[in-house]
Amino acid sequence: MSANQQQESIYRLPSTAPDILDGSVSLTEFLPWALYCLDSEIPGSSLKNLAAELEQDFVIEVPSGEDIPLIRTAPADSLHQPTLWSALDVHIQYGNDNRTNLAYFPYGFLVAHDKDWAAQGLWLVYVDFEDDNPLTAFRIGTKNVAGACETLREGDDSADQLEKIYGINGRDASD
């Protein structure tokens, strides 16, 4: 397998996703996006720092309780995945296994694929649960991640619209 074919297989995803929570969205708009990683050499502590950087001012502050973050690292046992598809499988399985006690937004997640995320960006993966589960995945610059995640979590714009606005497709993410 050539290097290009291997890279394509790492980032390949299906065009649609299996059902997640049977389309139930009750209270999911307050759940943080999970951040996974394709590079097993990037430590969890670096990813936690990245998650904190990414969410900027989008943390919902709760005076009488625990603040609600926009982005959190995925659970340690599933944090590092070999491909985008495996991250999708793990994320869907998590959602379906934890229907009554979700800790992550079930319809989207982020993936760090390179330790130079400032230049390479992250993958944003989103399942449109309102329309037969089409899957949208694109690379996005780190400075735009929080706004895109918040917009999708609240249903303000479609993933296709955000991909047109923020997708970096081959150019440097810092542009």
Of these ranges, 11-20, 43-52, 124-133, 145-154, the one predicted with the greatest mean pLDDT is 43-52
Of 169 and 167, more confident = 167
Q: Is residue 173 part of a domain?
A: no
Spacing of C-alpha 70 from chain mean position: 11
Identify the pLDDT of residue 87: 97
Q: Is residue 94 part of a domain?
A: yes
Q: How confident is the model at residue 4 (pLDDT cuts 50, 70, 90)?
A: low
pLDDT at 6: 53
**Domain contains 174:** no
Q: Residue 142 phi/psi, 5° resolution?
A: -60, -30
pLDDT at 5 over 60: no
- Strand, helix or coil at 59? coil
DSSP codes, 72-111: EEPPGGGSB-SSHHHHHHHHHHHHHHTTTS--S-TTEEEE
Residues 92-101 have pLDDT tens digits of 999 888 888 8
- The CATH code of the domain that includes 13 is 3.40.50.800
**Which structural domain, as residue segments, surrounds residue 129?**
3-166
* Within-domain flag for 11: yes
DSSP for 112-157, please give it: E-SS-HHHH-EEEEEE-TTTT-BEEEEEE-HHHHHHHHHHHHHTSS
Task: Judge whether 73 lies within some domain.
Answer: yes
The Cα 123–Cα 140 span in angstroms is: 6
pTM of full prediction above 0.85: yes
Classify strands 135-140 and 122-127 as parallel, antiparallel or unpaired.
antiparallel
Query: Does 171 reside within a domain?
Result: no
Strand partners, 122: 112, 140
Residue 161 scores a pLDDT above 80: yes
- The tens digit of pLDDT for each residue in 40-94 reads 999 999 999 999 999 877 777 777 777 778 999 999 999 999 999 999 999 999 9
Residue 172 lies in a domain: no
To the nearest whole number, what is the mean pLDDT of the chain? 86
CB contact at 8 A, 113 and 92: no
Domain count, the chain: 1
pLDDT beyond 90 at 38: yes
Reply yes or no on whether the pLDDT at 175 is more than 60.
Answer: no
Backbone angles phi, psi at 36, to 5 degrees: -105, 175
Q: For 158-172, what is the mean pLDDT?
A: 84
Residue 50 lies in a domain: yes
